[in-house]
Structure 1
């Protein structure tokens, strides 16, 4: 389904912001975003699949007539429905309380609370990716290609109810399509190390929990966002306007532009990414 004219206007508005500011250092990083992928066995790509398109990743060739864009639908809490130009759908932090209207091809889950995972995912989901390992304390690793989408993860720690540390209890899931790299921070409880940031590589869009209590505190989350240097941030996991505004009010106006939208659906392309880090607040469905 093509995006509405209003959504295309929003993309053009974001592009205008990008022209008004110098590009961030992240924009100059390698074309292939997550360095996690470099640890996987090398893939042999036939020469026929290497189109001569500037900036085009050979693993994700441009399909004739298919626009290079990704659609983000904010369903609520920590759940987004991500849809690629090739029609692959992903539901993030898939759970039994907040679900999209369609059955996604892929579902990712984290287990901090029951609103971030499901014990009975829809049987029509082709790939259910858990952000934790069945072996306590051990990291889980995902490296999955579905159509024009690649999915990987970076394990992180969580807190238990007594304040202790659950090692590798959460994952930051990274989605790549249309030359865009999207990171869903999940139920992040701690700052990222330099190694974490290096492993994630170039992240274009961050889906960030901003409640400031159950996950990372507001100052800590802003520190993470500054470290990632991503052009676009979309807040999630906020429970009311007060928690959302507490996050927005702490942002430095010189460092982050802030936009509010009235539609939970956003269509993004690499060309529409802003040059200055920008926070776009999408309403929950």
Structure 2
């Protein structure tokens, strides 16, 4: 009797063990499958993805990228100078980014500590920039767009520090005309900002585009289309200090262009030149042989 009970218990234990092992194996296979599908996936390349297909966006990118790349390069250098710069540093900045008009170093009261060139080509008011002290204390940059009888100038300010305390600004300034010349077609590009018009383009619509309510429009998006000033403009925005710059171009012409038909390959011309045979030549008869 005891042997029978022991055998039954052993069989039951084996059955439970085998059932558990089977469940564990199933769960392990499912876990491995999920891991391969969602975590450690095999990389693939989608060669069918054509990227940006909107001709308007392609046109805008071609126009503003050469401009924006140079602006970003200058901002990286300016933003990395967090101590009072020497005059040699300022001169090197102007040499490297030759579209800049000048560099001025001022303290927190607006007193000029140094500048290149030594005599600026136009008077500059730094008081509105200095009003953004809270930004500079947390190492953020500031900017202004100023338009007067002498034209438009863009000022970009980066803070510098002494003993980890905000001590003043390094201000780089430039005429937008010197920067937009790097575009492939400056006349087709318009640049506005939340501070006013930066570059009007060549079609006379800059003022109307700058007058739009960009502060409200930029709350929800950094890129879009807008029908205004008699055109269909595609635009892209980016920050410059606390301001936002907006690059625009009229996309009607490029979007209405019909794709050019694919050219059929010309048939290969038949050659009249005879190709030599590759058959072996016959062996000449031996003249000494008997007929």
Instruction: Settle same-fold status: TM greater than 0.5.
Output: no
* Higher share in helix: 2
Larger-gyration structure (1/2): 2
TM (norm. structure 2) is 0.24
